[in-house]
């Protein structure tokens, strides 16, 4: 290390011939001890030295302390051993320190000016800051006992990050503050100022996953820390106080980051490190920033795995000591985590999304997309594309759409018709597709996506062609709450307040997560069998008990297995025959109607939300379930007429084909309890105990014009402030021999549903 703290300070001053100043060091030491003694006496002590040595006697060097605790970041791999990401230990810079001589003197001076101007004079604590903190926290002159500001020096910040457990950082107790002050004083007593500054600059967090000056210099400016200019150094020195606001890699942060940089430069002038001319020139320098990227594969999936690991830790699913800090698990435990992800498939899906969206975004106004691929027989997540590009700020790329609640459009209709089947309906049940007098708040009636009506139609036709009015009549007949219950059993974890939703729920009037939705569709692929791992979500009774699988194996640094996914758990959440009724419709009628057929047996359902904000295609084969979303993360509407079969459809087809490469072709399995019989002009599928009672429906009377009184269902209107004069209508003899289905009153819709695309 070159020179003592005095030579270092002189060298910093020589950058501009600055003058030396400040109180003598003994003054600061006496002040620190005085503060310490007064603080201890304030809580009834008289044991200053005993407390001091209690904390200080076992103090280790920061780098030795890290070696002793074995702190290391965890590594995340795909199912084949490909590294996805290594989580950065917040103190990783201290394991591979850059010498102070390799860190720009400008950054050293900027950091001292900003964080601790008395660094080279104080004994490890900032006396002025501590006295201010004491005045605010321990006297009637502040906001209250330990509710005031802090006064941490550079040495104290180093102590907090290395020696104080993260779970104690937020504690504003006298004991924690005393420990921090004592260790800071002892650290400064034992080690040279330059050594402490070196340790500090190697561990401080600069945002964007950059810990330490060297990492930050490369992350933001693509150069080593020793080559930073004055303007660049001032920019970096301003980040640590609020990385989320000042990190300049985020374009929206730039104005605040520049204002902060100017403030740092002014402080450097005040403390005689630079002249006003140098500051003014630095303020005018235009900085070139590197892209705010870092080496990571499948970023949304990696951070989903991190959250899942934390929940598994909290629920005791990992073989770890009881006192393990689960919030710091991936940063400090050095885990090796093997996941379910298939990286080649993930990369292919990412490429498909980028290619397809680039080709159509100008036409449709949808600039983002997401996708999930699940293997139904194991419940394993093979691909998770949370957005078109994680690093694109203009599309809110860091938002993981696959776990965000969005409208599913008409793809949620499957839960409505499944509920009807469970109540005794059949695929040949007839429902009237005629105007229904349920109005939205805007005063317009709910419409079909094409504004046309087909008259009486079978359930098969209604679901396959995604006709809205029959779906509304069906959910009114079977009950909104019953449909929500069905969705929860199938895997949906949202829709948590059934009383909020009205009949428009079946058109997408409630929000679900794409991951949940895809998982639920995988249950159809398994004929009602849910496969996965015991849930780590805190879900109410009646919700799913299993989660899709993301983690296959967890090992510690010694190779000891802490968790292994030995085999899938499974639950028959739905009788197989009823699940197959949905598959039969989606794999024969719906997929052909929407033009989504692929090179093997598959089932598909489209869904477009109101105002064209979300376009989904959900589907599956016996071997893969795939969900695709297209839209804008900020919920901006796409172009009028952006139906899902045209927007998300090509993406879904391409990913489905890619996901099946090398997979043997299988047909859907027809379960026991299902039979086929001629009905309604075709070979129709039935659950044993039901039969074809279809009769050619007679033409219905001419619909009464909207607003003219007709027999009303009792209860409240379907939409707040709306009127309802329609009865939920199903052609008689629809459910022969079945238990009658109650007809609940229409409930308030949660969002405007007119007109509903609902394709």
Q: Quote the tokens at residue 649.
A: 């459809």
Q: Where are the alpha helices (DSSP H) in 539-643?
A: 576-584, 591-593
Average pLDDT over residues 170-182: 72
Return the pLDDT at 184.
87
Q: Please tell me whether residue 262 adopts helix, strand or coil conformation.
A: helix
Residue 369 has pLDDT above 70, yes or no: yes
Q: Quote the tokens at residue 1.
A: 């290390």
Give the confidence band of 431 by pLDDT, cuts at 50, 70, 90: very high
CA separation for the pair 44, 40 (Å, rounded): 7
Return the pLDDT at 568.
79
Return the pLDDT at 739.
32
Give the confidence band of 23 by pLDDT, cuts at 50, 70, 90: low
Note whether residue 615 is domain-resident: no
Task: Calculate the dihedral angle through the C-alpha atoms of 343, 349, 352, 355, rounding to the nearest 10 degrees.
Answer: -70
Average pLDDT over residues 674-685: 95
Average pLDDT over residues 524-553: 97
pLDDT in tens, 490-527: 999 999 987 888 899 999 999 999 999 999 999 999 99
Return the pLDDT at 742.
34
Return the pLDDT at 688.
96
User: In what helix (H) or strand (E) does residue 605 lie, and over which residues does it extend?
Assistant: strand 603-608
What backbone torsions phi and psi does residue 403 show, to the nearest 5 degrees?
-120, 15
Give the confidence band of 17 by pLDDT, cuts at 50, 70, 90: very low
Sign of CA dihedral 208, 209, 212, 217: negative
Give the confidence band of 344 by pLDDT, cuts at 50, 70, 90: very high
Strand order from edge to edge, sheet including 551-555: 83-86, 75-77, 336-339, 551-555, 561-564
Q: Return the closest-CA partner of residue 314 out of 301, 333, 332, 327.
A: 327
Q: Return the closest-CA partner of residue 464 out of 580, 329, 586.
A: 586
Average pLDDT over residues 17-29: 54
Contact 590, 602 (CB under 8 A): no
Contact 738, 425 (CB under 8 A): yes
Note whether residue 50 is domain-resident: yes
Which DSSP string do the residues of 219-240 spell out, in sequence order?
HHHSS-GGG--HHHHHHHHTST
Residue 314 has pLDDT above 80, yes or no: yes
Return the pLDDT at 465.
96
CA separation for the pair 536, 557 (Å, rounded): 24
CA separation for the pair 236, 256 (Å, rounded): 13
Decide which of 134 and 569 is more confident. 569
What backbone torsions phi and psi does residue 225 show, to the nearest 5 degrees?
-60, -30
Residue 659 has pLDDT above 70, yes or no: yes
Which DSSP string do the residues of 458-520 spell out, in sequence order?
EHHHHHHTT-HHHHHHHHHHH-HHHHHHHHHHHT------GGG--GGGGGT-S-EEHHHHHHH
Average pLDDT over residues 124-147: 56
pTM for the model stands at 0.77
Q: What is the DSSP letter of 22?
A: S
* Average pLDDT of every residue of the chain: 83
Average pLDDT over residues 179-192: 87
Give the confidence band of 20 by pLDDT, cuts at 50, 70, 90: very low
State what percent of residues in the chain have pLDDT above 70.
77
**Residue 459 zone, left/alpha/beta (φ > 0; ψ -120 to 50; rest):** alpha
Average pLDDT over residues 687-698: 84
Average pLDDT over residues 443-466: 89
Q: Quote the tokens at residue 615.
A: 């376009």
Give the confidence band of 693 by pLDDT, cuts at 50, 70, 90: confident
Return the pLDDT at 437.
81
Burial of 252 (0-12, 13-18, 19+ CB in 10 A): exposed
Task: Calculate the dihedral angle through the C-alpha atoms of 11, 14, 18, 19, rounding to the nearest 10 degrees.
Answer: 60
Note whether residue 306 is domain-resident: no
Decide which of 143 and 30 is more confident. 30
Residue 440 has pLDDT above 70, yes or no: no
Return the pLDDT at 169.
60
Average pLDDT over residues 86-90: 80
Contact 695, 724 (CB under 8 A): no
Give the confidence band of 639 by pLDDT, cuts at 50, 70, 90: very high
What backbone torsions phi and psi does residue 497 show, to the nearest 5 degrees?
-135, 80
Decide which of 533 and 32 is more confident. 533
Return the pLDDT at 469.
95
Q: What is the DSSP letter of 612?
A: G
Average pLDDT over residues 616-634: 98
Note whether residue 487 is domain-resident: no
Return the pLDDT at 50.
60
Give the confidence band of 660 by pLDDT, cuts at 50, 70, 90: very high
Return the pLDDT at 195.
93
Q: Where are the alpha helices (DSSP H) in 191-332?
A: 193-203, 213-221, 230-237, 243-246, 254-270, 276-284, 299-314, 329-332
Q: How far apart are the first and last CA of the chain?
A: 70
Which residues, other chains included, contact 194 with Cβ-Cβ below 8 Å and sequence gap of 6+? 1, 2, 3, 4, 5, 8, 100
pLDDT in tens, 374-385: 999 999 999 999
Give the confidence band of 754 by pLDDT, cuts at 50, 70, 90: very low
Note whether residue 70 is domain-resident: yes
Q: How far is CA 296 from CA 76, 89, 140, 300, 655, in A?
A: 10, 15, 51, 10, 22
Average pLDDT over residues 137-149: 43
Give the confidence band of 445 by pLDDT, cuts at 50, 70, 90: confident
Q: What's the structural domain count of the chain?
A: 1
pLDDT in tens, 91-130: 666 666 789 999 999 999 999 999 999 999 998 887 776 6
Residue 702 has pLDDT above 60, yes or no: no
Sign of CA dihedral 13, 16, 17, 23: negative
State what percent of residues in the chain have pLDDT above 90.
60
Decide which of 237 and 699 is more confident. 237
Q: What is the DSSP letter of 588?
A: I
User: In what helix (H) or strand (E) does residue 138 lie, and over which residues does it extend?
Assistant: helix 127-138
Q: How far is CA 520 from CA 263, 376, 512, 531, in A?
A: 53, 10, 11, 10
Residue 711 has pLDDT above 80, yes or no: no
Q: Buried b / exposed e across 60-80, counting CB within 10 Å, b at 16+?
A: ebbbebbeeeebbbbbbbbee
Residues in the chain: 759
Contact 21, 272 (CB under 8 A): yes
Q: Which of 177-186, 438-447, 634-643 has the lowest mean pLDDT?
A: 438-447
Note whether residue 268 is domain-resident: yes
pLDDT in tens, 569-622: 999 999 999 999 999 999 999 999 999 999 999 999 999 998 899 999 999 999
Which residues, other chains included, contact 392 with Cβ-Cβ below 8 Å and sequence gap of 6+? none
Return the pLDDT at 611.
87
Decide which of 151 and 222 is more confident. 222
Q: Quote the tokens at residue 585.
A: 């419709």
Return the pLDDT at 721.
29
Residue 331 has pLDDT above 90, yes or no: no
Q: Quote the tokens at residue 466.
A: 């995604």
Tell me the pairing of strands 336-339 and 75-77.
parallel
Q: Please tell me whether residue 555 adopts helix, strand or coil conformation.
A: strand
CA separation for the pair 144, 617 (Å, rounded): 56
Structural domain range at position 227: 5-284
Give the confidence band of 211 by pLDDT, cuts at 50, 70, 90: confident
Note whether residue 622 is domain-resident: no
Q: How far is CA 128 from CA 31, 150, 418, in A?
A: 9, 11, 70
Residue 673 has pLDDT above 90, yes or no: yes
| Domain at 94, CATH number | 1.10.3810.10
Radius of gyration of the CA atoms of the chain, in A: 32
Q: Return the closest-CA partner of residue 109 out of 256, 213, 1, 221.
A: 213
Q: Return the closest-CA partner of residue 279 out of 291, 293, 261.
A: 261
63-68 long-range contacts, CB within 8 A, separation 24+: 63/94, 63/95, 63/97, 63/199, 65/162, 65/163, 66/91, 66/94, 66/95, 66/162
Note whether residue 159 is domain-resident: yes
């Amino acid at each position: 290390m070159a020179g003592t703290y005095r030579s270092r300070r002189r060298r910093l001053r020589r950058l501009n011939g600055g003058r030396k100043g400040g109180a003598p060091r003994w003054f600061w030491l006496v002040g620190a001890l005085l503060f310490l003694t007064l603080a201890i006496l304030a809580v009834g002590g008289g044991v200053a030295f005993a407390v001091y040595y209690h904390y200080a006697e076992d103090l280790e060097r920061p780098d030795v302390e890290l070696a002793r605790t074995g702190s290391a970041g965890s590594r995340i791999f795909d199912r084949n051993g490909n590294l996805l990401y290594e989580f950065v230990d917040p103190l990783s810079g201290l394991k591979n320190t850059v010498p102070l001589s390799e860190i720009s003197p400008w950054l050293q001076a900027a950091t001292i000016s900003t964080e601790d101007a008395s660094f080279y004079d104080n004994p490890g604590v900032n006396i002025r800051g501590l006295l201010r903190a004491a005045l605010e926290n321990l006297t009637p002159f502040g906001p209250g006992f330990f509710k005031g500001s802090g006064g941490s020096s550079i040495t104290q910040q180093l102590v907090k990050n290395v020696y104080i457990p993260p779970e104690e950082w937020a504690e504003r107790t006298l004991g924690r503050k005393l420990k921090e002050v004592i260790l800071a004083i002892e650290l400064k007593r034992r080690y040279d100022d330059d050594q402490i500054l070196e340790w500090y600059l190697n561990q401080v967090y600069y945002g964007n996953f950059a810990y330490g000056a060297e990492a930050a210099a490369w992350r933001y400016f693509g150069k080593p820390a020793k080559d930073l200019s004055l303007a660049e150094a001032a920019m970096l020195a301003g980040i640590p106080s609020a990385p989320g606001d000042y990190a300049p890699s985020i374009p929206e942060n730039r104005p605040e980051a520049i204002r902060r940089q100017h403030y740092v430069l002014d402080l450097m002038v005040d403390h005689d490190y630079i002249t006003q001319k140098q500051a003014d020139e630095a303020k005018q320098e235009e900085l070139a920033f590197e892209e705010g990227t870092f080496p990571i594969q499948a970023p949304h999936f990696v951070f989903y795995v991190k959250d899942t690991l934390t929940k598994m830790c909290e629920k005791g699913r990992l073989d770890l000591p009881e006192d393990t800090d689960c919030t710091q698990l991936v940063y400090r435990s050095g885990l090796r985590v093997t996941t379910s992800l298939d990286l080649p498939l993930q990369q292919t899906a990412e490429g498909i999304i980028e290619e397809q969206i680039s080709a159509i975004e100008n036409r449709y106004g949808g600039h983002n997309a997401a996708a999930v691929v699940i293997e139904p027989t194991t419940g394993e997540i093979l691909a998770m594309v949370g957005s078109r590009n994680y690093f694109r700020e203009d599309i809110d790329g860091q938002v993981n759409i696959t776990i965000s609640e969005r409208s599913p459009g008409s793809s949620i209709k499957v839960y409505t018709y499944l509920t009807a089947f469970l109540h005794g309906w059949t695929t040949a049940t007839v429902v009237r597709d005629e105007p229904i007098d349920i109005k939205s708040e805007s005063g317009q009636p709910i419409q079909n996506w094409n504004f046309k009506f087909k008259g009486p139609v079978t359930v098969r036709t209604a679901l396959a062609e995604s006709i809205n009015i029959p779906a509304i009549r069906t959910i009114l007949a079977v009950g909104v709450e019953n449909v929500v219950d069905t969705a929860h059993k199938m895997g949906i974890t949202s829709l948590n307040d059934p009383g909020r939703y009205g009949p428009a729920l079946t058109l997408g009037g409630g929000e679900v997560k794409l991951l949940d939705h895809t998982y639920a569709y995988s249950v159809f692929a398994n004929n009602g069998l849910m496969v996965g791992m015991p849930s780590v979500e805190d879900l109410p009774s009646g919700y799913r008990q299993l989660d899709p699988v993301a983690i296959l194996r967890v090992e510690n640094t010694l190779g000891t297995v802490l968790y292994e996914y030995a085999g899938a758990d499974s639950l028959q959440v739905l009788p197989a025959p009823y699940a197959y009724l949905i598959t039969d419709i989606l794999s024969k009628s719906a997929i052909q109607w929407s033009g989504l057929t692929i090179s093997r047996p598959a089932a598909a359902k489209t869904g477009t939300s109101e105002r064209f904000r979300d376009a989904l295609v959900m589907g599956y084969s016996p071997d893969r379930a795939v969900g695709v979303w297209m839209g804008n993360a900020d919920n901006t509407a796409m172009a009028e007429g952006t139906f899902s079969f045209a927007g998300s459809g090509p993406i879904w087809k391409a990913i489905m084909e890619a996901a099946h490469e090398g997979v043997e072709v299988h047909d859907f399995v027809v379960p026991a309890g299902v039979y086929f019989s001629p009905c309604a002009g075709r070979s129709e599928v039935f659950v044993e105990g039901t039969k074809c009672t279809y009769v050619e429906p007679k033409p219905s009377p001419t619909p009464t014009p909207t607003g003219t009184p007709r027999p009303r269902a009792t209860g409240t209107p379907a939409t707040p402030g709306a009127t309802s004069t329609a009865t939920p209508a199903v052609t008689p003899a629809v459910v022969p021999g079945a238990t009658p289905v109650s007809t609940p009153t229409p409930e308030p819709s949660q969002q405007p549903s007119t007109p509903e695309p609902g394709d």
